[in-house]
Chains A and B, each alone.
Chain A
Amino acid sequence: MSPRPIVLERIVVALLWAVAAMTIGVLLFIVGFILLRGLPHVSWQFLTESPQKMGREGGILPMIVSSALVAGLGVLIAAPIGVATAVYLTEYTRGGRVTAVIRFGADCLAGIPSIIFGLFGFVFFAITLGLGLCVLSGALTLAVMVLPTVIRTSEEAIRAVPDAYREVSYGLGSTRWQMVTRVVLRSALPGVVTGVVLSLARALEETAAVMLTAGSALRMPSSLLDSCRVLPLHFYLLAREGISMDKAYATAAVLVIVVLAINFLTYRLMRRFIGKAGQYV
């Protein structure tokens, strides 16, 4: 005999709440665990000194600089291409085979594992183009990797611009290009920026692809063709080779704070953007 629906309801709902509480608990535990163990070892010196003895002592300044360079440059390359793609897909074509092919390419690119981007970057940028393991190879690899994110978020932001704006712009006699740059892109800007910042967070946390293309040299990179070691890789090597657990926790704490801060910022930006757009419509 099966239990009465109302009894079953009580049991299932209680179970579901337990599952939900456990899930949220685990996720918060991970963040708390890293911050509690890492923050006590984070100091001004840690952030502004070079590492000593393979990272056993000293700080993480070169890794902070390397991460900023590789991820920043990667996003800087991907952003204009991604936004141009989004503009083309939304304002210059309406359906058709070319659009379908481009969208299929972006969707597939988004699903490829980062280690394959690493293999590709290694054989294409580092070896075939002769760049070697360096900041530039890493940045170019990340650029290809975050391109679909930029395309998709920009596309959504541009689609959210009401058609009335376009009609008014045309009505005032502007060309399509003037309409795109002065009306559509301007009102979609917060959304586009959000997407770009989001892809920056993704580029900053990437480890596998950067490891195979930018190398793992400990020193401060002096040019774009120098090998360098990004923050997550430094953390991975510290932890895996048991060099220093305190430094590993501290590095992880810095990484988690930076990435969560960026994500939080984009979330706020998005909220404000949506609120604003709602006001005008």
Chain B
Amino acid sequence: MKQDRIISAILMGLALSAILGLSLIAVFVFKEGVPIVLRIGARDFLLSAEWNPKEGLFGIRSMIVGSAMVTLGAMLIGGTFSLGLALVLTQFAPPRLTHVLKPVIELLAGIPSVVYGFVGVQTLVPFIREHLGGPGLSVLAASIVLGIMVLPTITSISVDALQAVPRSYWEGSIALGATRWQTAHRVMLRAARSGIIAAVILGMGRAVGETMAVIMVGGNTLAVPRGPLDPVRTLTANIALEMGYATGAHREALFATGVTLFVFIMILNTVALAVSRRRSSGAAFR
């Protein structure tokens, strides 16, 4: 029994390394990034649109606006399409087709993000430049590429949520004379709601945090984007583009950009965890 206690202690020590990792990340990124925010003032850092490291001007408004626009666009595109796909796979497609397609979609979640970005540059960017105007490298291009990237994640989790709805709900609705579409959106979607919301929030986190694909199709200019055809630089792109050569206050400002991102992601995570916890406690009632 003494041996059991020792093993248990060792395992607990190893298990705490996830917490240790999280704390180290928070401590080191904050330690590097927070001082400069205090020096400049959080208001100026977050709200000024002047980013000029040579002049010592560090304002990230254009990146915050850029990240928000791109993420919103990605969720509109990715969310709509994955929801449609999930509904087809669970409510309308023959089971055998779903059986083949779901793993195919999950396989595609593994395509490296640089590859998504590259295909975007080669096909989507010239298309937007020629048919819609602007430089092509734009909020729209970044939103579409990110929307496609988060598709597999959102679809796969939404399919799981829809499949977890008890069969009797579907049977009850059909027996009452509802059409399949009425059943799908008034019964199944509503019953799977919290799972789908969790999936969308998870996809949103991925979209906000994505770096390489956005650098490739976004255009990376420093101006605040005014419309979907304007080029854009996100928070993540700002860090990845300039980290290679930044020193001193410039590097601190990039870490501060990371802190902004970190805080935003933690808020998203907490909301997602709360939603999915509500889902699992709801499941206990069934």
Give chain A's interface residues, CB within 8 Å of chain B.
Answer: 5-6, 8-9, 12-13, 15-17, 19-20, 22-24, 26-27, 30-31, 33-34, 80-81, 84-85, 87-89, 92, 98, 101-102, 104-109, 111-120, 122-124, 128, 144, 147-148, 151, 175-177, 201-202, 204-205, 207-208, 211-212, 232, 235-236, 239-240, 248, 252, 255-256, 259-260, 262-264, 267
With A30-B119, A109-B21, A114-B211 as known contacts, state yes or no: A119 contacts B85, CB within 8 Å: no
Contact in complex: A123, B28 (CB < 8 Å): yes
> Which B residues are CB-close (under 8 A) to A122?
243
> Which A residues are CB-close (under 8 A) to B24?
120, 124
With A9-B179, A31-B111, A239-B118 as known contacts, state yes or no: A92 contacts B12, CB within 8 Å: yes
Which single member of B88, B112, B179, B210 contacts A20 (CB below 8 Å)?
B88
Contact in complex: B115, A34 (CB < 8 Å): yes
Interface residues of B in 240-284 (CB under 8 A from A): 240, 243, 254-255, 258, 261-262, 265-266, 268-269, 272-273
> Which A residues are CB-close (under 8 A) to B268?
111
9 extra A-B contacts, CB within 8 A, seeds A111-B202, A115-B261, A202-B110: A9-B180, A24-B105, A101-B19, A105-B22, A108-B22, A113-B236, A175-B3, A212-B240, A263-B110
> Which B residues are CB-close (under 8 A) to A22?
81
Contact in complex: B212, A34 (CB < 8 Å): no
B182 at the interface (CB under 8 A from A): yes
Question: Chain A contact residues: over half helix, strand or loop, or mixed?
Answer: helix
With A92-B12, A112-B209 as known contacts, state yes or no: A85 contacts B4, CB within 8 Å: no
> Which B residues are CB-close (under 8 A) to A104?
273
Q: How far is the CA of A114 from the CA of B262 in the complex (A)?
A: 11
B135 at the interface (CB under 8 A from A): no
With A19-B85, A112-B25, A256-B112 as known contacts, state yes or no: A208 contacts B181, CB within 8 Å: no
> Which A residues are CB-close (under 8 A) to B265?
111-113, 116
Contact in complex: B16, A102 (CB < 8 Å): yes
With A9-B181, A111-B205 as known contacts, state yes or no: A81 contacts B107, CB within 8 Å: no
Which single member of B180, B240, B255 contacts A208 (CB below 8 Å)?
B240
> Which A residues are CB-close (under 8 A) to B36?
none
B116 at the interface (CB under 8 A from A): yes
Contact in complex: B11, A19 (CB < 8 Å): no
Contact in complex: B115, A16 (CB < 8 Å): no
Contact in complex: B29, A113 (CB < 8 Å): no
Listed residue (A17, A112, A207) with the most chain B CB atoms within 10 angstroms of its CB: A112
Q: How far is the CA of A87 from the CA of B12 in the complex (A)?
A: 10
Contact in complex: A19, B88 (CB < 8 Å): yes
* Closest B residue to A248 using CB positions: B118
7 closest A-B pairs (Cβ-Cβ)? Answer: A113-B209, A19-B84, A205-B112, A105-B19, A88-B11, A84-B14, A20-B88
> Which B residues are CB-close (under 8 A) to A16?
84, 87-88, 92
Contact in complex: A144, B107 (CB < 8 Å): no
Interface residues of B in 101-143 (CB under 8 A from A): 101, 103-116, 118-119, 121-123
> Which B residues are CB-close (under 8 A) to A88?
8, 11-12, 14-15
> Which B residues are CB-close (under 8 A) to A248?
118
Task: Quote the shortest CB–CB distance from A204 to chain B (angstroms).
Answer: 8
B148 at the interface (CB under 8 A from A): yes
Interface residues of B in 137-170 (CB under 8 A from A): 148, 151-152, 155
Q: How far is the CA of A208 from the CA of B177 in the complex (A)?
A: 53
> Which A residues are CB-close (under 8 A) to B105?
24, 27
* Closest B residue to A234 using CB positions: B114
Q: How far is the CA of A204 from the CA of B110 in the complex (A)?
A: 10
* Closest A residue to B118 using CB positions: A239
Listed residue (B106, B269, B272) with the most chain A CB atoms within 10 angstroms of its CB: B269
Which single member of B28, B113, B210 contacts A124 (CB below 8 Å)?
B28
> Which A residues are CB-close (under 8 A) to B123?
33
Contact in complex: A177, B7 (CB < 8 Å): yes
Contact in complex: A20, B108 (CB < 8 Å): no
Q: How far is the CA of A111 from the CA of B266 in the complex (A)?
A: 8
Q: How far is the CA of A236 from the CA of B121 in the complex (A)?
A: 12
Q: How far is the CA of A89 from the CA of B17 in the complex (A)?
A: 13
> Which A residues are CB-close (under 8 A) to B116?
30
Q: How far is the CA of A261 from the CA of B132 in the complex (A)?
A: 38
With A24-B104, A205-B113 as known contacts, state yes or no: A85 contacts B208, CB within 8 Å: no
* Closest A residue to B273 using CB positions: A107
> Which B residues are CB-close (under 8 A) to A17?
88, 92
Listed residue (B93, B114, B205, B272) with the most chain A CB atoms within 10 angstroms of its CB: B114
Contact in complex: B4, A176 (CB < 8 Å): yes
Q: How far is the CA of A23 from the CA of B104 in the complex (A)?
A: 12
> Which B residues are CB-close (under 8 A) to A259?
110-112
